[in-house]
């Protein structure tokens, strides 16, 4: 009951925080029979929340760090929505590890009812575009579940979670869901040598998970990959006839660009060393002036014209009353959510989780108060409902108006700063030429 209530409460807010949410092969999770989902883990509670949202009505459970289950309301809610505590040595010591027997019993019980259980295979939550080594505990849990269930239907499904910017408002999430791996295929080897089969299983699962994410081999190249993405992604999508609105197509190009950097790191490290400072300096100037690369990219900046600027200004003026209504109804809860999340979290991996969870309650309270106050001065219930709906839809409109306004400002800046624009264009050409050597 609590799970369903929270699901409906949060459904309205999930598409607001992240601009685009997409899953490829989501039906793979809706098969009959028990499923263990082996997933990477870049973003705390956000990773399982959104896949549960996409997989609905299929219910998806998952395991979370046991030290989060402190006595009180939080622990009660976590238990009620089906989250099972799992303890690592660093979380609960030897006493915590002893409690894991009960956790595995509960996992097996859910699987016996054809449940779907998420396991964060890396054993760590960290915002990186790479797969960390999979923990052996995953193999122990999988084969332990098979022995408990005695079911050939048990499968492991690898899932890659890919964010554009995990901790940023209005970014995107793409769940790349792989094909099922039947556990029964390993049982003959397991009967002869369990320890050796654990390694064989992990060696089979790890590459399947790695191909579902954009994997940067060397952390030292993270920033360059982001820069190359900004420079090339949209042009490559168009060149390959792909749809930039589809995150599955987006992933194809990002994987290609990432692999180009990985190859260059192995075969042409001197080019990377030459490229990094140029890219860093170019994007530093853009950020300093609050600009984006599309304004400098000759293939994308067709709207950087005086006529287009005037037309955009007219649209901004015409639509400004709706934008102001959106601000009036939603700015305070939005700002409060951001402030609470920033003050509460210690690690960026938890920002979106706190912002989404806190935002859900803050926005509901905000609209309950607006409805109540409006009702006091209304002859009937129609007007308070109408006011709330107007503020909600104007708030959604503002999510698109604000970026449009920022892009218009970018066009104005370029039109007023021809000298720096020319300098940036030359630096960009030099950078593109160097990167093309990859």
The domains located in the chain, with CATH, are 2-210 (3.40.1130.10), 219-289+430-436 (no CATH), 306-416 (no CATH)
Per-residue pLDDT of the chain (438 residues; tens, 9 = 90+): 666 776 777 777 788 899 999 999 999 998 899 999 999 999 998 999 899 889 988 889 988 777 666 666 666 777 766 788 887 666 655 665 667 888 889 899 999 999 999 999 998 999 999 999 999 989 999 999 999 999 999 999 999 999 999 999 999 999 999 999 999 999 999 999 999 999 999 999 999 999 999 999 999 999 999 999 999 999 999 999 999 899 999 999 999 999 999 999 999 999 999 999 999 999 999 999 999 999 999 999 999 999 999 999 999 999 999 999 999 999 999 999 999 888 888 889 989 988 988 888 899 999 999 999 999 999 999 999 999 999 999 999 999 999 999 999 999 999 999 999 999 999 999 999 999 988
- The C-alpha atoms of residue 139 and residue 149 are separated, in whole angstroms, by 15
pTM of the model: 0.93
Q: What is the four-CA torsion angle of 11, 15, 16, 20, rounded to 10 degrees?
A: 170
Which pLDDT score is estimated for 136?
Answer: 92
For 26, what's the count of Cα atoms within 13 Å in the CB-facing half-sphere?
17
- The C-alpha atoms of residue 43 and residue 182 are separated, in whole angstroms, by 28
Q: DSSP character for 135?
A: P
Which pLDDT score is estimated for 346?
Answer: 81
Cβ atoms of residues 42 and 166 within 8 Å: yes
In the numeric block, the tokens 């309270």 are attached to 365
The count of other CB atoms within 10 Å of the CB of residue 201 is 24
For β-strands 155-163 and 35-39, DSSP reports them as parallel
Which H or E run contains 377? none
- The C-alpha atoms of residue 385 and residue 380 are separated, in whole angstroms, by 10
Cβ atoms of residues 413 and 318 within 8 Å: no
Cβ atoms of residues 120 and 41 within 8 Å: yes
Cis status of the peptide bond prior to 167, with omega within 30 of 0: no
Quick one: tokens of 115?
Answer: 């449940």
Which H or E run contains 132? none
Residues 6+ apart with CB under 8 A from 359: 13, 16, 17, 333, 334, 337
Cβ atoms of residues 162 and 213 within 8 Å: yes
Which pLDDT score is estimated for 12?
Answer: 74
CA 66, 68, 73, 78 dihedral sign is negative
């Amino acid at each position: 009951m609590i799970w369903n209530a929270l699901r409906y409460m949060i459904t309205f807010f999930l598409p607001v925080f992240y601009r685009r949410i997409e899953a490829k092969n989501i039906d793979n999770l809706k098969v009959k029979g028990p499923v263990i989902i082996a997933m990477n883990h870049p973003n705390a509670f956000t990773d399982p929340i959104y896949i549960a949202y996409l997989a609905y009505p299929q219910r998806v459970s998952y395991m979370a760090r046991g030290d989060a289950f402190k006595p009180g309301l939080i622990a009660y809610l976590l238990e009620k929505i089906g989250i099972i505590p799992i303890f690592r040595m660093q979380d609960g010591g030897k006493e915590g590890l002893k409690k894991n027997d009960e956790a595995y019993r509960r996992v097996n019980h859910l699987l016996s009812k054809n449940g779907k259980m998420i396991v964060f295979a890396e054993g760590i939550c960290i915002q990186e575009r790479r797969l960390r080594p999979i923990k052996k505990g995953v193999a122990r849990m999988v084969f332990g579940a098979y022995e408990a269930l005695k079911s050939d239907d048990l499968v492991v499904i690898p899932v890659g979670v890919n964010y554009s910017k995990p901790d940023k408002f209005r970014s995107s999430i793409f769940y790349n869901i792989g094909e099922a791996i039947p556990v029964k295929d390993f049982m003959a080897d397991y009967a002869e040598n369990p320890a050796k089969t654990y390694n064989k299983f992990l060696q089979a699962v790890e590459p399947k998970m790695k191909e579902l994410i954009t994997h940067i081999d060397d952390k030292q190249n993270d920033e360059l990959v982001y820069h190359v993405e900004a420079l090339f992604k949209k042009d490559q999508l168009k060149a390959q006839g792909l749809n930039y609105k589809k995150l599955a197509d987006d992933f194809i190009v990002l994987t290609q660009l990432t692999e180009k950097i990985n190859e260059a790191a192995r075969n042409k490290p001197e080019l990377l060393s030459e490229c990094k400072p140029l890219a860093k300096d170019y994007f530093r100037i853009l950020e300093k002036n609050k600009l984006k690369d599309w304004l400098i990219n000759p293939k994308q900046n067709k709207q950087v014209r005086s006529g287009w600027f005037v037309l955009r200004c007219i649209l901004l003026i015409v639509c400004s009353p709706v934008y102001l209504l959106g601000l009036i109804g939603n700015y305070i809860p939005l700002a409060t959510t951001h402030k609470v999340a920033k003050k509460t979290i210690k690690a960026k991996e938890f920002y979106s989780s706190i912002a989404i969870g806190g935002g859900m309650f803050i926005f509901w309270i905000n609209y309950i108060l607006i409805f109540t106050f409006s009702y006091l001065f209304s002859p009937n219930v129609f007007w308070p409902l109408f006011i709330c709906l107007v503020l909600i839809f104007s708030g959604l409109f503002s999510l698109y108006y604000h970026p449009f306004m920022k892009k218009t400002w970018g066009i104005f800046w370029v039109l007023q700063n021809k000298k720096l624009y020319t300098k940036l264009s030359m630096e960009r050409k030099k950078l593109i030429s160097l990167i093309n050597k990859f």
